[in-house]
């Protein structure tokens, strides 16, 4: 089989995109029907039987629309083919009825509501138009239902019989009989086609049911819903539904404004334009489906915004592409929490603007989460290119300036309340995060500029990040109190209570737990380091080697492990954050009641002479122990050293420091 070339692939991809767009367009009317049913109201003056009948019809409409919404592509196209055929048949019957019984072919012109002359005065011209119309409807009907040739000819003749009676000027009662007979034959043919297709419908329904049950038993309800969500392209359906609904409403409102202003110009004043935008925004979130549609539109905007920022700062992390998912979820939760769709129009606009401010601060926090790893990697890798640093620094500056401007504008126009307090707290917290990130970035850049081992760098980074985390924790507690006050005295709801519980667990309890765990790990590591013997001065100069972790020489001091390997205290402490074994031989580093070894061997097996001369038996026992250790393990130790220096345990340089700092923070 010949390989498919690029032009064929492009054609195939374009064809798939066209079919996908058509599929989305065909599913959108189902949402219109469901939305119309949900927005309809009951007439309380009617009897109980009528109300029950209305409820049954609405439930039936929702059920049928939902089934059509989740149909497969092939079944969806067949459904619309049959529906279009039935619609063409009904149109043909109505045309025959109206033309044969209600049109005066030899009278005056027939005009529409806009004064347009619809029908010509002469009868033959109208007859020809009716014949062409009926032929078009009949051909479309038999094509969609795939009727065989002999039956198709009879159906075309059946549709033309009332027109023939009209042309021959038969009496009125005969024409009524012809119209009734033609309609009855068409209805019987439609019912026959339905009966023939009923078997296919039954087996298709049974197959879908068995497939759904099989997937539910194997994968569960969550994966089944996720698969259906992706298969029918539900976010695209919601976007098309919301945008077409807003477009239709904008067209109607524009026409009303033109009529009210008695002008034919398409341009309107700024006041009318602002009122139009406010009306569209209010009507764009008046139900649960429209809120979902607005969330889908926000998802697209946030997705492309996130991709643009990632491309600008040069990040390739896949986890940072979740902005298009986080933003709409937050917006929908805020809408449910505040009861957005159930508010009055004036209150709905105010509440929506407040929710958008909260959403903006959340998006800025997420963008900071995207830029912070890039900022840290650039500072730790000592990249000196200004073009590489400028984008991420520019985004960080914007993340500091935008919250300040937002807080200034809101405080300038609104009085203090719980909503303004929450927005301000989020803005201050974001500014604090940016300051912490830039401070750590500056520390790493200073370390890279001097290119000298800065033993206190890890401590400074830890202090800066810990301070930021503590203040962030305090903000979380304050926001919990603000939410509790809002729920008790302003607008309490079950959704708000659930969100407060989630906030208390994730942003308060887990953050405090992780912070305490980090503090204890660091404290334990410092305790382990302090328990190890330390050599300085002349004893350190007698060992001609480098630290096996960072490959730098020993300038001030070194720590010795129980297995007689020595490292920088800072390097060993970072290693102990990860695991509690020696980087060289993987023995336990921390042993209770560790005593200072008189005989100190370097990483290559060299034994440094001691400063003091202990008792001879102790010296001989220590020397004998060292000789046995060197004889038994020298080969393995040399192999471990060589393997570690070739990159097995290459936790060296600022990049490794960044990884360890991220883990401790």
Q: What DSSP assignment string belongs to 561-610?
A: -TTS-EE-HHHHHHHHHH-SB-TTT--BS--TT----SSEE-TTS-EEPP
Helix pair angle (234-261, 270-283), 10° resolution? 140
Residue 612, pLDDT score: 42
R_g over Cα of the chain: 39
* Predicted pLDDT of residue 493: 75
- Determine the average pLDDT of the residues in 97-101: 79
User: Which position has the higher pLDDT, 315 or 649?
Assistant: 315
DSSP β-bridge partners for residue 557: 536
Across the range 230-250, mean pLDDT stands at 94
Of the candidates 117, 120, 140, 139, the residue with the CA atom closest to the CA atom of residue 128: 120
| pLDDT of 108 above 80 | no
The three-class DSSP label of residue 266 is: coil
DSSP, collapsed to helix, strand or coil, labels residue 111 as strand
Q: What is the mean pLDDT of residues 105-130?
A: 56
Write the class of the CATH domain 530-664: alpha beta
Q: Does position 641 have pLDDT exceeding 60, yes or no?
A: no
Q: Per-residue pLDDT for 655 more than 70?
A: no
354: confidence class by pLDDT, cuts 50, 70, 90: very high
Higher pLDDT, 285 or 125: 285
Looking at the chain, the whole-number percentage of residues with pLDDT higher than 90 is 28
- What pLDDT does residue 630 have? 42
* pLDDT confidence tier of residue 651, bands split at 50, 70 and 90: very low
Structure tokens at 604: 């290559």
**Residue 600, strand partner residues:** 608
Residue ranges of the domains in the chain? 7-70, 74-231, 530-664
pLDDT value at residue 7 = 78
Identify which has the larger pLDDT, 322 or 236: 236
pLDDT in tens, 465-494: 999 999 989 988 998 898 888 888 877 777
Q: What is the pLDDT of residue 643?
A: 40
- Residues across the chain: 665
- The more confidently predicted of residues 628 and 4 is 4
Q: How far is CA 381 from CA 184, 315, 366, 449, in A?
A: 83, 15, 24, 11
DSSP 8-state class, residue 320: G
Integer Cα distance of 573 and 529 in angstroms: 7
- Three-class DSSP category at 108: coil
Q: pLDDT tens digit string along 281-319?
A: 999 998 999 999 999 999 999 999 999 999 999 887 776
How far apart are the C-alpha atoms of 548 and 652, rounded to whole Å?
9
In this predicted model, what pLDDT tens digit does every residue of 169-226 receive, in sequence order? Answer: 788 888 888 889 988 998 888 888 878 877 777 777 788 788 888 888 888 888 888 8
pLDDT of 240 strictly over 90: yes
CB 372 within 8 A of CB 309: no
* pLDDT at residue 263, rounded to an integer: 72
Low-confidence winner among 21-30, 52-61, 161-170, 297-306 (lowest mean pLDDT): 161-170
CA–CA dist 470, 473 (Å, integer): 5
Question: Tell me, what's the pLDDT at 363?
Answer: 95
Core vs surface per residue 446-468: b (16+ CB within 10 A) or e = ebbeeeebbeebbeebbebbbeb
Q: What is the DSSP code string of 511-557?
A: HHHHHHHHHHHHHHHHHHHHHS-EEEHHHHHTS--B-TTT-PBPSSE
Does the structure show a pLDDT above 70 at 115? no
Q: What is the pLDDT of residue 32?
A: 94
What's the mean pLDDT in 81-100?
Answer: 88
Q: Is 87 helix (H, G, I), strand (E, B) or coil?
A: helix
Of the chain, the percentage scoring pLDDT greater than 70 comes to 82
Distance CA 630, CA 619 (A): 16
This prediction has a pTM of: 0.75
Task: Check whether 14 has a pLDDT greater than 70.
Answer: yes
Predicted pLDDT at 587: 85
Q: Which residues pair with 546 in a beta bridge?
A: 553
For 133-149, the pLDDT digits (tens) are 989 999 999 888 888 77
Distance between terminal CA atoms of the chain? Answer: 57
Rounded-to-integer distance, Cα 331 and Cα 298, Å: 8
Cα 547–chain centre separation:
46
pLDDT tops 70 at residue 29: yes
**Cβ(114)–Cβ(107) below 8 Å:** no
C-alpha distances out from residue 286 to 36, 277, 338, Å: 12, 15, 13
Mean pLDDT of 458-463: 86
Residues 390-421: pLDDT tens digits? 999 999 999 999 999 999 999 999 888 888 99
Helix, strand, coil percentages in the chain from 3-state DSSP, rounded to 5:
75, 5, 20
CA 599, CA 657: separation in Å to the nearest integer?
A: 32
Average pLDDT, the chain: 80
pLDDT band, residue 361 (cuts 50/70/90): very high
* 337 burial level (CB within 10 Å; 0-12, 13-18, 19+): buried
């Amino acid at each position: 089989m010949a390989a498919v070339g690029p032009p064929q692939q492009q054609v195939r991809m374009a064809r798939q995109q066209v079919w996908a767009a058509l599929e989305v367009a065909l599913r959108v009317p189902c949402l219109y029907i469901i939305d119309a049913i949900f927005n309809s109201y009951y007439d309380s003056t009617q009897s109980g039987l009528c109300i029950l009948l209305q409820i049954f019809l609405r439930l039936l409409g929702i059920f049928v629309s939902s089934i059509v919404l989740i149909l497969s592509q092939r079944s969806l196209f067949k459904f619309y083919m049959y529906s279009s055929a039935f619609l063409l048949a009904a149109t043909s019957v109505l045309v025959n009825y109206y033309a044969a019984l209600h049109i005066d072919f030899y009278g005056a012109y027939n005009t529409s509501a806009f004064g347009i002359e619809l029908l010509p005065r002469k009868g033959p011209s109208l007859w020809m138009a009716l014949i062409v119309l009926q032929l078009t409807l009949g051909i479309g009907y038999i094509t969609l239902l795939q009727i065989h040739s002999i039956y198709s000819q009879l159906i075309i003749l059946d549709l033309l019989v009332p027109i023939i009676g009209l042309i021959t000027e038969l009496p009125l009662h005969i024409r009524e009989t012809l119209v009734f007979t033609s309609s009855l034959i068409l209805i019987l043919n439609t019912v026959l086609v339905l009966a023939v297709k009923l078997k296919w419908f039954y087996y298709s329904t049974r197959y879908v049911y068995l497939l759904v049950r099989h997937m539910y038993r194997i994968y569960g309800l969550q994966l089944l819903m996720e698969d259906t969500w992706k298969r029918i392209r539900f976010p695209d359906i919601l976007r098309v539904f919301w945008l077409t609904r807003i477009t239709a409403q904008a067209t109607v409102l524009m026409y009303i404004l033109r009529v009210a202003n008695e002008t034919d110009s398409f341009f309107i004043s700024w006041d009318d334009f602002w009122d139009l935008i406010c009306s569209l925004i209010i009507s764009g979130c008046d139900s649960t489906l429209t809120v979902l549609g607005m969330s889908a539109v926000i998802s697209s905007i946030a997705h492309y915004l996130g991709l643009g920022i990632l491309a600008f700062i040069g990040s390739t992390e896949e986890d940072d592409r979740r902005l298009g998912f986080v933003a709409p979820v937050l917006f929908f939760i805020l809408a449910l929490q505040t009861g957005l769709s159930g508010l009055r129009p004036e209150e709905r606009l105010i509440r929506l603007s407040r929710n958008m401010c909260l959403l903006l601060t959340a998006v800025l926090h997420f963008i900071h989460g995207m830029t912070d790893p890039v900022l840290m990697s650039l500072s730790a890798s000592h990249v000196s290119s200004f073009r590489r640093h400028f984008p991420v620094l520019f985004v960080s500056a914007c993340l500091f300036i935008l919250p300040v401007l937002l807080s200034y504008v809101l405080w300038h126009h609104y009085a203090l309340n719980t909503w303004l307090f929450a927005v301000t707290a989020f803005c201050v917290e974001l500014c604090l995060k940016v300051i912490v990130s830039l401070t750590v970035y500056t520390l790493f850049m200073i370390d890279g500029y001097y290119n000298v081992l800065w033993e206190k760098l890890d401590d400074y980074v830890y202090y800066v990040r810990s301070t930021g985390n503590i203040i962030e924790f305090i903000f979380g507690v304050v926001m919990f109190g603000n939410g509790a006050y809002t729920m008790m005295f302003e607008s309490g709801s079950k959704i708000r209570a659930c969100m407060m519980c989630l906030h208390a667990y994730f942003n308060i309890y887990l953050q405090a737990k992780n912070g305490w765990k980090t503090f204890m790990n660091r404290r334990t590591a410092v305790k382990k380091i302090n328990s190890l013997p330390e050599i300085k001065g002349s004893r350190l100069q007698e060992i001609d080697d480098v630290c096996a972790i960072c490959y730098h020489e020993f300038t001030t001091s070194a720590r010795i492990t129980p297995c007689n390997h020595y490292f920088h205290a800072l390097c060993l402490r970072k290693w102990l954050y990860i695991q509690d074994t020696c980087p060289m031989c993987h023995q336990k580093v921390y042993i209770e009641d560790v005593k200072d070894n008189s005989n100190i061997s370097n990483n290559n097996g060299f034994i440094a002479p001691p400063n003091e001369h202990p008792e001879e038996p102790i010296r001989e026992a220590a020397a004998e122990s060292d000789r046995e250790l060197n004889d038994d393990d020298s080969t393995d130790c040399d192999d471990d050293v060589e393997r570690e220096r070739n990159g097995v345990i290459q936790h060296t340089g600022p990049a490794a420091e960044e990884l360890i700092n991220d883990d401790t923070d």
